[in-house]
Structure 1
Amino acid sequence: MVKKTLLNWPVLRQLRAGDMFGRDRSTQSKKSATLTPRIAEADRMVKSVCPYCAVGCSQRVYVKDEKVIQIEGDPDSPISRGRLCPKGSASEQLVNSSTRVTDVLYRAPHSTEWVKIDREKALDMIADRFLEARRNGWQDLDEKGRKVNRTLGLAGLGGATLDNEENYLIKKLFTAAGAIQLENQARI
């Protein structure tokens, strides 16, 4: 262990070494000299987009043994230039949270319990209900006898966490299905 004296003060070491900007070894502590980046052990890096808002900040997701170990802003992004807001910076906690629900849960009408169901079964249930609502609310003609070919049984609400492309596809889907009640939370 090195005895602490005034001569070991980092500013004096910096001056003795001629390191005017504090970028040389003279300003490093033993601890900082042994530090390694959090991403050093990653097997691979995958580019992604932050899930929280419509800005679309790019992320670098570092994976080790098929588990996310770190998420950082992507400096190559023209949108965020490597920066993330506090929520985006904490998105690794979202991915690895012990309370994250990863199963499809279903609560039947009038039930008080959630049950796990198969993902395929859930998608079939959603498709069946979508088609039934479209069929039950379909109008060929309005009250004045004009041809409208629409349904009032469906409505679409886009979210600010979706990017423009996703909202565009949702709009196309609902328009093709005959829905006329389409909105986005960003306008509400």
Structure 2
Amino acid sequence: MSAGKTFLSWPVLRQVTGSDRLGRGAAAKSGEDWTARTRTADKVVQSVCPYCAVGCGQKVYAKDGKVIQIEGDPDSPISRGRLCPKGSASEQLVNSPTRQTTVLYRRPHSTEWEHLDLDTATDMIADRVVESRRRTWQDTDEQGRILRRTLGFAHLGGATLDNEENYLIKKLFTALGAIQIENQARI
């Protein structure tokens, strides 16, 4: 027991010597002055859990611009208010002090990461896709059959994407001429 606690303040001893020996009344009650975090929220928004492709509904509670609680959304036809352990802990994903909030880039042969703004990083990716497509484009094969494809890049999607996102990614990469388009959920 800590220095501030005495044997007489031990909860089991209080229960056995008090009027609520079975622990079903006052001994089982939490503090009466407690208030749920969800009651103090300024704003509640509906969202979708980011972890897998199931798409469980979430209610996100915010106070002063910060997420304070995430719970299952009982109005969701998919999860009906339930969340798996990862979904239940997704508030930690948002509020983690180690969360990466900037784009990091490591140049070829470098040992250091550098911070880039999002526009610069997006432009770098777009330039590389366009250049790779231009350089590796195959319009026809040796027999003159139409191919209209590139083998210069591929796409491997993750299981955290929902059906709509996967549909749009498939259309984008098909339009770019890629034929190697896969998703982790199918592998």
Per the normalisation by structure 1, the TM-score is 0.85
Counterpart for residue 89 of structure 2: 90
Counterpart for residue 147 of structure 2: 148
Taking only aligned residues, the RMSD between alpha carbons, in angstroms, comes to 2.1
Give the drift of 1:28.
8.0
Taking only the aligned residue pairs, the percentage that are identical comes to 68
Q: Given the superposition, is the C-alpha separation of residues 32 and 144 from structure 1 closer, same or farther in structure 2, using an over 3 Å criterion?
A: same
Equivalent residues of 2:151, 2:179 under 8 A apart: yes
Residue 8 of structure 1, aligned match among 6, 13, 19: 19
Counterpart for residue 139 of structure 1: 138
Give the drift of 1:30.
5.6
Q: Where does the alignment leave 5 or more consecutive residues of structure 2 unmatched?
A: 1-13
Give the drift of 1:33.
3.2
- Aligned partners of 1:31 and 1:97: how far apart in 2? 28
Q: Where does the alignment leave 5 or more consecutive residues of structure 1 unmatched?
A: 15-25
Q: Given the superposition, is the C-alpha separation of residues 82 and 131 from structure 1 closer, same or farther in structure 2, using an over 3 Å criterion?
A: same
- Number of residue equivalences: 174
Counterpart for residue 126 of structure 1: 125
- Report the 3-state secondary structure (helix = DSSP H, G, I; strand = E; otherwise coil) of the residue aligned with 1:139: strand
Structure 1 residue runs of 4 or more that deviate by more than 6 Å after TM superposition: 3-7
Q: Given the superposition, is the C-alpha separation of residues 90 and 150 from structure 1 closer, same or farther in structure 2, using an over 3 Å criterion?
A: same
Give the drift of 1:44.
0.3
Equivalent residues of 1:11, 1:27 under 8 A apart: no
Structure 1, residues 69-122: CA drift from partner, whole Å, max 9, x if none? 001110111111111111111100111001111011110000000000111111
- Aligned pairs for 1:36-55 (under 5 A) are 36-55=35-54
